[in-house]
Amino acid sequence: MAEALKLWRNAQLYTCDGHSRIIARGALLTRGSRIEWVGDEAAVPGAAAHEVHDLSGAWVTPGLVDSHTHLVFAGTRATEYAERLRGRSYEEIALSGGGILTTVRAVRAASEEQLFDESAPRLASLLSEGVTTVEIKSGYGLTLADEAKMLRVARSLGRSFPVTVRTTLLAAHTLPPEYQGRADEYIDVVAREWLPELAGQGLVDAVDVFCERMAFSVAQAARLFEAARTLGLPVKMHAEQLSNLGGTLMAAAAGALSCDHLEYAGEAEAAALARAGTVAVLLPIAYYCLAPERRPPLDALRAHRVALAVASDCNPGSAPAASLLTAMSMATRLFGLTAEEALLGATRHAARALGLEYERGALAPGQAADFVAWNVRSIEELGYWIGFNPRRTVVRAAEVLRWPNPNA
Ligand code: NIG
Ligand code: FE
């Protein structure tokens, strides 16, 4: 049977494509799961659609893309959060065996089913806000079997929910206790054994590394990137989050898809990201929770025209939040992004941070038919509401999702 042709009419389109066009009386034609045509309703091309959907004049954007999450995990770190409120730092907690390692212990102890069940509500929360593509990292297993378990859960969430999941191997998140004092050996095992094995199982779409004093050095990250390159896998980096180690400069030179966090980056990093076309992924919820002394160098990033993405960073330590809309609002208030920048950061630029710019993140012919109709008077409301979800209708792969929103 021919693929269904559907007309989605009576919409105010914010396309987020190269020109971020606004089409006041817009319409979309979809064929199968892709967008075929976008434009003014008066100019819809001839062929008779099999179905016509009236979007009631709503603002319509591309489906949101959360380009940085650690949403598969077990347990919480609420106790450590309380310790931080009493003055202990994130680094201090990590160096005494807590932090990421607390979650590693919980993930190792959890069965695959348990991990799925604990993670599913966080994914559901993102989806309820119009997220149609989400990146999920490993990094709380830190053995081959437990990293594989996390990645399988991420894949299985993608099959169980109406969302596109991209998986990232973050075995280089922190040094597991078994390798204490042997970080170089650990990186070698990940690079030479785990990465090819997990990639061979189809579990890895990209490779990430936490480049930081308390985690891995620039040289270690470079070795991992080299192994990823050999396998044809894209790379990204948790870079300059708590200090400036020079990770961003190396990652950009290696053609990384993105460098994420960047609180301690400066002019040189912004220039390097721009030269390489690497996306700067801003994580304002982690900034809010950790309250570092510096914020990402927005003026330099803008001056060099670096593409800015905004992501939730959903994780139990630095960002206990499963809301991309909250991250977008925080990006405006804490980092000074405009609402339009925040929206591009959660659509086109986020897709680019995942290497998906030709498939997702814009309302344009050839893109996935993923879009959201919002109950808002203007696009500014998307970098504005906190704890209120103005999502009306989510369309994924040209199908309307049955996902009730009591606020709409
Ligand atoms: O993006 N920086 C390292 N990784 C996470 C935090 C993970 C955790 O604390 O569990 C981040 O902030
Ligand atoms: Fe992170």
CATH number, position 32: 2.30.40.10
Average pLDDT estimate for 98-113:
98
The domain of 24 spans 5-62+362-400
Pick the last residue of a domain from 315, 331, 353: 353
DSSP state for residue 161 in the 8-state scheme: T
In this structure, the answer to whether residues 341 and 374 fall within a common structural domain is no
Indicate if 142 and 200 belong to the same structural domain: yes
The answer to whether residues 43 and 110 belong to one domain is no
Q: Report in angstroms the alpha-carbon separations of 233 from 133, 255, 343.
A: 19, 11, 27
168 falls in which pLDDT band (50, 70, 90)? very high
Atom of ligand 1 nearest to the CA of 316: 10
Evaluate: CB of 210 within 6 angstroms of ligand 1.
yes
Cα–Cα nearest to 71, from 240, 267, 323, 280:
323
CA–CA dist 92, 331 (Å, integer):
27
Contact 59, 12 (CB under 8 A): yes
pLDDT tens track for 22-68: 999 999 999 999 999 999 999 999 778 889 999 999 999 999 999 99
Query: Does 346 fall in a domain?
Result: yes
**245 located within any domain:** yes
316 lines ligand 1 (CB under 6 A): yes
Residue 297 and residue 373 share a domain: no
Give yes or no: residues 9 and 81 share one domain: no
Same domain (yes/no): 221, 239: yes
Residues 42 and 80 in one domain: no
- 298 C-alpha to center of ligand 1: Å? 21
Can you list the positions of beta strands (E) in 235-278? 235-239, 258-261
Pair 50, 75 in one domain: no
Q: What is the mean pLDDT of the chain?
A: 96
d(CA 289, CA 286): 5
Same-domain check for residues 18 and 113:
no
Mean pLDDT of 336-354: 98
Taking a 5 Å cut-off on Cβ, the residues next to ion ligand 2 are 313
> Rounded to two decimals, what is the model's pTM?
0.98
User: What are 59-99's pLDDT values in tens digits?
Assistant: 999 999 999 999 999 999 999 999 999 999 999 999 999 99
Nearest ligand atom owner, CA of 285:
1
Q: Quote the Cα angle for 195-196-197, to 5°.
A: 90
User: Is 405 among the domain residues?
Assistant: no
Statement to judge: residues 111 and 9 lie in one domain: no
Residue 194 in any domain: the answer is: yes
Q: Which residue's CA is the closest to the ligand 1 atom numbered 3?
A: 210
Q: Where are the alpha helices (DSSP H) in 170-305?
A: 183-189, 195-200, 218-230, 247-253, 267-276, 284-290, 298-303
406 in any annotated domain: no
Q: What atom in ligand 1 is closest to the CA of residue 260?
A: 1
Query: What are the pLDDT digits (tens) for 348-367?
Result: 999 999 999 999 999 999 99
Per-residue pLDDT tens digits for 302-317: 999 999 999 999 999 9
Residue 408 resides in a domain: no
Read off the tokens for 388. 């209120």
Q: How many residues does the chain have?
A: 408
Is residue 235 in some structural domain?
A: yes
**What average pLDDT does this structure show over 170-195?**
98
Is 57 in the same domain as 72?
no
**pLDDT higher than 70, residue 1:** no
CB 279 within 8 A of CB 309: yes
Within-domain flag for 291: yes
For the chain, how many structural domains are there in total? 2
With the most atoms of ligand 1 within 8 angstroms of its CB, the residue from 100, 136, 142 to mutate is 100
- Kindly state whether residues 178 and 317 are assigned to the same domain: yes
pLDDT band, very low/low/confident/very high, at 321 (cuts 50, 70, 90):
very high
pLDDT value at residue 124:
97
Taking residue 98's Cβ as centre, other Cβ atoms within 10 Å add up to 19
Nearest atom in ligand 1 to 170's CA? 4
The number of the ligand 1 atom at minimal distance from the alpha carbon of 99 is 9
CATH of the domain at 239: 3.20.20.140
